[in-house]
Structure 1
Amino acid sequence: MAGTDALLSLSDVHTYIGRYHILHGVNLEIPRGELTMLLGRNGAGKTTTMRTIMKLWPVREGRIVFAGEDVTRLSTPEIARRGIAYVPENMGIFGTLSAEENMVLAARAGEPNAKRLEWIYDLFPALRKFWRWPAGQLSGGQRQMLAIARAIIEPADLLLIDEPTKGLAPTIIDALANAIDALKETGVTILMVEQNFALAERVGDRVAVMDDGKITHTGTMAALSADTALQCRLLGFDVGGDAA
């Protein structure tokens, strides 16, 4: 991705979890204002990359630069304050609290901005319906909507989303894709991990493929979508098939 206007860049990043060396020199640039898909087989290091960006795992070697600032040694709260929001694979919501209470906790002022909340309602109309329901009683799709809503209740420059469609029904996936399209129109930069290749094709602008803790391919999503041989080589499947 050389030559792009990178909002976030990782240079030779190594991450260990305990004694296990998971990221082996990740080099990655996330262009400003685009959605980059982070794809790869299970265990390739995609989630570890997301967690390393958020400093949930420390960088052993290498450098992370966000908006021109070296953020390699900052803490997770400091990273969030810089304008990076994260929707983890486990969604990160509090099941015993209502959707409203989850949103209040995410708002810096202790109460969601009314105009911002109306915009979120437009993205996720169903949120109005389950606003006062305990989050633990919501369906998988409703919890995912709430998780993304929490992440964007405050304006963010970069949104990290880890496998948002995992286990969801096709109709819910379509609704999430519509919401992601609407988010893209606001100009927010997005890095998304996703196993659903059809969704990646629909919403992705660029793609980075991981294998064994390294980035093995970068390019446009359109080019990867058009090359079935490359898909098979990088991801282990043909169009219409499943990842190996």
Structure 2
Amino acid sequence: MTTTNLLELSGVHTHIGAYHILHGVNLAVPKGQLTMLLGRNGAGKTTTLRTIMGLWHASQGSVRFGSTDITAMHTPQIAELGIAYVPENMGIFSDLTVKENMLLAARAAKNADQMDDARLKWIFKLFPAVEKFWNHPAGKLSGGQKQMLAVSRAIVEPRELLIVDEPSKGLAPAIINNMIDAFSELKKSGVTILLVEQNINFAQRLGDTVAVMDNGAVVHSGSMAAFSADEALQQSLLGLAL
């Protein structure tokens, strides 16, 4: 069975000012799967995500989403194609309520009554805290609840690709388990997911495929199961064993 890639980066270089951050990144994200992007701090993972989203532009190489070349597109155009991005800082509007944060992301709705009720119910099932704190200021939520809101906001409209930067960072184990369940459900619903993650347990439990970055390039890619089973490879690429 051949796997179709929904997202492909080929020879991508990214410069930020005088700094050359990405050095020819080749990355494939298979359609319908969850791909883990791993690597030590400073390996270029976040820059890769920001380059995909057009927040920084590749100085060389190409980024393709399906049959569309998105390399030179601007972020709003890329989002319109069905790609959602949850950055590491989550981008929550603290002074707005949970409901207002969700409404801002639901571009088709002018008010809360126009939001897709069935979709909201599905999101509440994934993240009960979003429903529980619906009318509370988002700034008052815990770190885990904010992360749930950030992901909920990204999927309030149907998306083909969900890109999330370190979803488990700073979260308690119980919340991490909740996140793992939610991402599993999202994958079952047909969403393709690309996750940057430092929590190896999280990566092992969720990943179908894995790409490991070092010094601005992908140095290993393959199945997560094979990577999980090879302690010597983990040690050499990440400096630790799963």
- TM-score interval w.r.t. the shorter chain? over 0.9
**Distance between the aligned counterparts of 2:115 and 2:47, measured in 1?**
30
Contact 1:13 1:23 in 2 (8 A): yes
Identity %: 62
Question: Number of residues paired by the alignment?
Answer: 237
Contact 1:10 1:26 in 2 (8 A): yes
The equivalent of 1:242 in structure 2 is none
The equivalent of 1:60 in structure 2 is 59
User: What are the within-5 Å matches in structure 2 for residues 107-118 of structure 1?
Assistant: 107-110=106-109, 111-118=114-121
CA deviations on 1:98-154 (whole Å, 9 max, x unpaired) are 100000000012342111111101111121111111111100000000000000001
The equivalent of 2:23 in structure 1 is 24
Aligned-partner residue type, residue 190 of structure 2: G
Contact 1:103 1:112 in 2 (8 A): no
The answer to whether the aligner puts 1:194 opposite 2:197 as a matched pair is: yes
CA deviations on 1:138-177 (whole Å, 9 max, x unpaired) are 0000000000000000101000010001001001101111
The answer to whether the aligner puts 1:153 opposite 2:141 as a matched pair is: no
Runs in 1 of length 4+ with deviation above 3 angstroms? none
SS at match of 2:198: coil
Structure 2, unpaired ranges of 5+: none
SS at match of 1:215: strand
Aligned-partner residue type, residue 145 of structure 2: Q
User: What are the within-5 Å matches in structure 2 for residues 18-97 of structure 1?
Assistant: 18-97=17-96
CA deviations on 1:7-32 (whole Å, 9 max, x unpaired) are 01001001111110000000111100
**Distance between the aligned counterparts of 1:205 and 1:177, measured in 2?**
13
**Distance between the aligned counterparts of 2:201 and 2:86, measured in 1?**
20
Contact 1:22 1:48 in 2 (8 A): yes
CA RMSD of aligned residues (A): 0.8
Aligned-partner residue type, residue 49 of structure 1: T
